[in-house]
Every structure is written in structure tokens, then in C-alpha cells.
Structure 1
Amino acid sequence: MAATASTQASTKSLGNIRRAFAPWDDPAQKPLIEIAGVTKRFGGDFVAVDDLSLNIYRREFFALLGPSGCGKSTLLRMLAGFEEPTSGDLRLEGESLVGVPPHKRPVNMMFQSYALFPHMSVEKNIAFGLKQDGMAKSEIADRVAEMLRLVKLTPFAKRKPQQLSGGQQQRVALARSLAKRPKVLLLDEPLGALDKKLREETQFELMDLQVELGLTFVIVTHDQEEAMVMADRIALMREGRIAQVATPAVIYEAPSSRYVADFIGNVNILEGTVEERQGSRLRMAAAGGTIETETPVALKAGDKAAFAIRPEKMRIGRTRPETYGINAFRGEVYDIAYLGDVTLYLVKLPGGELVRATVINASRGVEQPLTWDEEAWLSFSPDAGVVLTA
């Protein structure tokens, strides 16, 4: 791990790093979970998961992200043992899970509904699975006390679920899932029932808890922000397959396809044609102007490609900037949205393309702000976006 950390420190990083943890970059590290060529069919015709392979490492907080129907929940249910793969293998610490019933797997699953027993107190809900396993009463009491402390619910031990807030119920369900000390905790949209502010607070609590316990968490979510905040790595899924697996920063800053770029955050995708290629430097005609950038993608003059750039990477002003050379486009302010922390501008280019640019509201007032129908210049640095062909 020390070699990996030093390697990371000596190379340029895409985005902020939450923790110096990257076993997937270390060839000496063995995965905890191996999903090998797994396919899941329903009714013979519908393919929910399509020949999917994926490795997840010990102590990793891993997110399965994607739209409804992409196969992420089916994959999670196969890990839990509620579904069996049609073909392929699921391995935990090198041992196949295929055919192993859910109660005999060293994994536990936390559902969106929480499924708490309404007639039992908080401490009895947490103790339920331990009693089912025949654990001694003294050990159960110690384990329940430990779980209550971890989720900060010790004062609420005697209360019933209906006497708790939604966030507190979520923590009871989490404590119950962790009480049996599984090797892997599977979370199926665990924060979906919480309001926005509480969901944001709980995301950080889950991250801290996962690091403190040193467990492997696998979460399913359709909320990209939730995945970006909590996960060490994200697998973005599409129609039963994986579109890209990477850290949140790489997924956001270096998407592998138009689908990934468009799914994660806001993005401008400018379609164009390559004019010139010299080494890694590429020039392309797009949106009525010229884009100059660098890319490792193998392209030649005449090839079709797209340039993806995030709105916050755009600069907007009344005059053409000299800083970025040819990466400047003239347009007209089509719409404006004041969002408090940022202002979003929609600028219409001569070819009809609508391009987004965001400006951070660093001060409370703005002298001579841009207004609707006003001419504006958009510009960006050569390394602000990525070239896509897929």
C-alpha cells in the first residue's frame, strides 16, 4: 500500500482524493469480491445483467450507479443470494457464492424500506439476528451496546421505531445490518426515504462509519451525487453492462463515452470534425468555431468526434478573451438561472447549439451583470474538456 500511495502522490490527480486508498491500482492486492462473466436472464428473454465482470476490494466503498432497469439491483441481489446467476460466477475471498443460501453468506443487506419490527424496541431490533444465530445473551448485550454507540442511538435504545425520525430509523436498520459483523454490507438505495438535507448529513456518517469499521460497503443508487460523495469507486451501468468503472473524479473529469459524460453532472457535448493532428495536439471544427486540445485518442483529419466540457470549466464575458487563443465562441445569452451559490447561463451559439456556463457567486453583488439577449463570449483552456468518440 505504501508504494501505491507514493505513486499517487507523484502523479497528477484528477479531482480531490478523499483518502489514500487504491488497492485496485496495486497488482499485489487480491479482490474480496470477484464477479466473473455473470449473466442473469428472467423469463428466458430479458437479460438484466449481461456477461458482467467486476472486482471489488476489501475495505472499499463501492457504488453501483445507473438509471432504473440497468441491472444494478439485480446484481446486488445476486451478491446477497436472493437471485442466482444464469451463468458466470460470484466469488467472495476466492470461494464461489453460487448456490449458497443468503443466511449462510458472510454478507448482509440493508433495504430502502428498513423493514424494522414495529413491536420491538431499538435494541431488540438490533439483537434479532444475533438471537437467531444463537449468540450468548452477554455477547448480544455487548454487541448491541457497541452498535448503538456506533450509530449514536444509545439514548434511544428502549424506543419503538415509530417513535423515531426517519434518519434515526435508518440508523437502526444500519446497526442491525452491521451487528452480525458481515464481511460485506450491501445497501439498496438506503437513503432514498430521507429528505435532501438529512440525506447529505447521513452520507458523511456512512462514510465515517465504513472507514471506522474497516468493512466493504457496496451501495446501489440512481443518485449520482450520492455515489460521487460516498464511493471510492463507481461502476456506472447501462443495460446490464458496465459503461465505466473509476473513482468519482475520473468518472467526472475523464468520462469514457458520451453516455458517461451525460449521466454524471451537467456537460456540454460539442460535435465536430478533426481538422489537424500533431502528436497529442488536436484541432477540431465544432459549433461554428475551432477547438484546440490535447488527447490520447487515436484520431486523424476528417474523423468525427465530440468535445465534452463541464459548464464550470467555461469562462463567460462580454469581450473575446486573449488567454485561451482559439478556444473562444461568440453567442447570445438565451437564459439565466440564479441558483444562489452559482449563476447558470445558457448561451446560444450561431449554429443553434445551447451551451451552459456556470459562474461562482463569490460576492453578494455584481456590477453590470450579463442579461438576456446580450452578446457574450465563451472560452476555455485546452485541457478543460475531453475528446470522445464513443
Structure 2
Amino acid sequence: MATRALGPVRRSFAPWNDPTAVPLIRFDKVTKRFGGFTAVDDLTLDIHEREFFALLGPSGCGKTTLMRMLAGFEEPTEGRITLGGEDMAGRPPYRRPTNMMFQSYALFPHMTVEGNIAFGLKQDGMTKGEIASRVEEMLKLTRLESFAKRKPHQLSGGQRQRVALARSLAKKPKVLLLDEPLGALDKKLRQDTQFELMDIQVTLGLTFLIVTHDQEEAMTVADRVAVMDKGKLIQVATPGEIYEQPNSRYVADFIGDINIIEGRITGASGGRVTIGSAEAEAPLTVASEADLAKDTTAWIAVRPEKTRLSLDAPPAGTANALTGTIFDIAYLGDWTVYLVQLPGGKILRVSQANMTRTVERPISWDDKVHLWWAPEAGVLLSR
């Protein structure tokens, strides 16, 4: 449970927009090869102090390899990694100001909760008094005070996850590395824990780096997200920018649901670009200042929730108006998702919030429908 509002803290935090800010972590032209396979390819990335940063991408994209190089479990084939201005080359994991929390939690089954938390502190030679004080602090932080004497098998999955987090934080690392930390939790518990992680990160003022393939998780917890593919950074931006302003079809398609319509540029003026597409009788319009030549292949990407759907035709002259047939329907409680098949066969997704419990004439299978979106709702993509 959050103990204070995070909004004012997170809203004002954006050191990546300050050209004078010095990053805490810097990957400088880093490449990692395993034999003939390139896991990370000439990657440059800055992460700032107190940032909650997410590496997001499909399996095999290089995100875990990048984290393991920062932790010291792998060495770069080329390039340099610095942390706090110090080159990490050749420095073993136990001499780096980082700590990693693994997906499996890796708790000692024969130790109690407080014993697990204290283990690393004992290895560092802290006094009994210092260890007791730090363990008490971590138990309180993670709300595990009443479970201190229990062993891992006596805990739920969420409680074991908090023990692993407390143990990782006990040594007060500069950077906490989280490798798919919530993957073993059910959806509801995972969502609750995401907010707990955010609160702990802000409270402690530490830098968190999370690796995940769960886009919703990355968008929830992170100040910035790096979308990766085949060892390269495709886009690094805030969650809002990633979602609303994807820089490519890959990012647009990877983050959330989206409809992508291909066409050719037919004109541009006044901050509007028109695209002729086989999917539409009239040219489609998108708000954009992009300078693309006429007849250039381009794509309009529009989110399902930004598309209007109705049994009735929109007013004459409405931009981006299409017609289709309801192909399938998914009722999700808060939202209903409609799959609309256009005359040419392409299927678009439209999401509508269920604002009322009943409607006079619900849209149903095989209905002929009209859909449209505002020019500002779409994004023009050139790659």
C-alpha cells in the first residue's frame, strides 16, 4: 500500500531532458557476442540516478544480456560500461554497487525471512547490531514484520517476492537490477506489487533497472522504457511517448493493440498528410509535420480506443470514415473489443468503454457498422 502520493515526485522527475545532467549508468557502444551470435549490437544508452528504467522486448532481444553485463556476470565484447563515472571493466559482481533480484527469488529454504534478509549483510561483516537494525528497516519497508520468523515454504508467492526484494535492498546498492521479478505472480497480485515497487523506489531514492517482456508492467512502473529488438535499441522514451508517439511499426505493434493501415502519400499541407489506401474509398488524413515525398509508402497507426464505432453513419465529410462488418466481439467487462472486417478483408480492432450497463441497440455479430477516427488520433509512420 502506497504511503504517499507519487504523482508530484514522478511528474517533476525528468533528468534525461536536462543537457547538463550526468547519467549514473552509461552503456557506450556496447556489443556482446556469443560465438557467431550478436546478443547486443553497438548499443549506447544512458540511465540517470533515481530513475526507474525498463528494458522491454521479446525473448532473445538482448535485454537480459545487457543487465547481466551491468551486474558483472558477462563482459562486453566491445564498448564500455560506466557506473557513477567508473569503468566497470574487469570488476567482479560482488565489487559493483549493484544487486540483482532474480525471477526465481533464489531464497534459502532453511532460513527464516529475517535470516534471508540478513545473509548478505553477514557476508559483508556488519556487526550484529547493524544487521538487526537493517533487517528491521527492510521488514518494515516491505511490510513483512509479522512474517520474520517464517520460512519461504510458509509464505505466499507475493510474500516470497517481497522477501527477495528486501534481501536485494538490504545492502543499499546504488542500482537494483530486477530480472522479470513479477513473472511468477498472478495478474491481480502482479498489478498490486507493481505499485509497491514504485513506492519503494521513490521512498529509497534508488535507481531501478527492470527487465521484462510484459509491456503493461514496463508502462506501469518505469519513468522511461527502452524497446529492444535483435540487440538494438528501437526507441527510448517515457511510457506516454512510447504509446502515443511510436517511432516505427515495430514499436507501435509491440506496445498495446493498434491498427496499422498501409498506403501512399497523396499530399501534405497545413499540418495534415493524406494517404491513399486500398482499405479506404477516400484518402485517409493524419495530423503530421513529416516531410515525405508524394507516392512514398507510409502507414497510419491508430489505437483501437481512439476509433469511433456506430451503427449509424457519421456526419458527411467526417475524416477517416470506413465501413465494415462485425467479425467478432470480446466482452471484457470494462471494455468491449470489436473486430471489424473491411470490404477488402482487413480486420481492424475497435475498443469501446462500457459506460452504461445496458444500451438500446447493442452492436452484434455480422452487423454493418461505421468506424472513424480524428486526424489527430493517428500516427504517421515511415518505417
TM-score, with length taken from structure 2 = 0.96
Give 1:383's match in structure 2, choosing from 372, 376, 382: 376
Displacement of 1:18: 5.2
For the 8 Å contact 1:288–1:350, the answer to whether it is kept is no
Displacement of 1:331: 1.1
Check if 1:31 corresponds to 2:23.
Answer: yes
The two structures, once aligned, show a CA RMSD in angstroms of 1.3
Runs of 4+ in 1 over 3 A off after TM superposition: none
User: What is the SS of the residue equivalent to 1:144?
Assistant: helix
Q: Which residue of 2 aligns with 1:66?
A: 57
For the 8 Å contact 2:262–2:298, the answer to whether it is kept is yes
Q: Which residue of 2 aligns with 1:299?
A: 292
Displacement of 1:107: 0.4
Check if 1:340 corresponds to 2:333.
Answer: yes
Could you tell which deviates more after superposition, 369-378 or 139-148? 369-378
Output the CA distance in 2 between the equivalents of 1:296 and 1:62: 30
Output the CA distance in 1 between the equivalents of 2:125 and 2:11: 38
Displacement of 1:17: 10
Output the CA distance in 1 between the equivalents of 2:293 and 2:44: 33
The residue type equivalent to 1:349 in the other structure is L
Q: Which residue of 2 aligns with 1:285?
A: 276
Q: Which residue of 1 aligns with 2:12?
A: 20
Q: 1:368 to 1:279 in 2, by over 3 A?
A: closer
Q: Deviations over 1:255-288 (max 9, x none)?
A: 0000000000000000011111114221111212
Output the CA distance in 1 between the equivalents of 2:9 and 2:341: 35
Output the CA distance in 2 between the equivalents of 1:172 and 1:248: 28
Displacement of 1:230: 0.4
For the 8 Å contact 1:62–1:231, the answer to whether it is kept is yes
Q: 1:213 to 1:17 in 2, by over 3 A?
A: closer
For the 8 Å contact 1:232–1:247, the answer to whether it is kept is yes
For the 8 Å contact 1:277–1:300, the answer to whether it is kept is no
Q: Which residue of 2 aligns with 1:159?
A: 150
Output the CA distance in 2 between the equivalents of 1:96 and 1:74: 18
Percent pairwise identity = 62
For the 8 Å contact 1:324–1:381, the answer to whether it is kept is no
Displacement of 1:221: 0.3
Q: Which residue of 2 aligns with 1:193?
A: 184
Output the CA distance in 1 between the equivalents of 2:316 and 2:48: 44
Output the CA distance in 2 between the equivalents of 1:180 and 1:217: 14
For the 8 Å contact 1:331–1:375, the answer to whether it is kept is yes
Could you tell which deviates more after superposition, 27-36 or 326-335? 326-335
Q: Deviations over 1:96-129 (max 9, x none)?
A: 0111000000000000011111111111110110
Q: Which residue of 1 aligns with 2:202?
A: 211
Q: Deviations over 1:278-309 (max 9, x none)?
A: 14221111212321122122212211100000
Q: Which residue of 1 aligns with 2:353?
A: 360
Could you tell which deviates more after superposition, 103-112 or 293-302? 293-302
User: What is the SS of the residue equivalent to 2:356?
Assistant: coil
User: What is the SS of the residue equivalent to 1:142?
Assistant: helix
Displacement of 1:319: 2.1
The residue type equivalent to 1:154 in the other structure is E
Q: Which residue of 2 aligns with 1:97?
A: 88
Q: 1:323 to 1:144 in 2, by over 3 A?
A: farther
Could you tell which deviates more after superposition, 69-78 or 292-301? 292-301
Q: 1:324 to 1:81 in 2, by over 3 A?
A: farther
Q: Which residue of 2 aligns with 1:122?
A: 113
For the 8 Å contact 2:287–2:378, the answer to whether it is kept is no
Output the CA distance in 1 between the equivalents of 2:124 and 2:319: 68
User: What is the SS of the residue equivalent to 1:337?
Assistant: strand
Q: Which residue of 2 aligns with 1:318?
A: 311
Displacement of 1:131: 0.6
Output the CA distance in 2 between the equivalents of 1:83 and 1:225: 28
Displacement of 1:321: 1.2
Output the CA distance in 2 between the equivalents of 1:138 and 1:338: 57
The residue type equivalent to 1:95 in the other structure is E
The residue type equivalent to 1:89 in the other structure is R
The residue type equivalent to 2:229 in the other structure is R
Displacement of 1:326: 2.7
Q: Which residue of 1 aligns with 2:34?
A: 42
Q: Deviations over 1:175-200 (max 9, x none)?
A: 00000000000000000111111111
Could you tell which deviates more after superposition, 104-113 or 299-308? 299-308
Q: Which residue of 1 aligns with 2:160?
A: 169
Q: Which residue of 2 aligns with 1:13?
A: none
Q: 1:216 to 1:139 in 2, by over 3 A?
A: same
The number of residues matched between the two structures is: 374
For the 8 Å contact 1:39–1:52, the answer to whether it is kept is yes
Q: Which residue of 2 aligns with 1:112?
A: 103
Q: Which residue of 2 aligns with 1:56?
A: 47
User: What is the SS of the residue equivalent to 1:383?
Assistant: helix
Output the CA distance in 2 between the equivalents of 1:184 and 1:107: 5
The residue type equivalent to 2:296 in the other structure is D
Output the CA distance in 1 between the equivalents of 2:146 and 2:71: 32
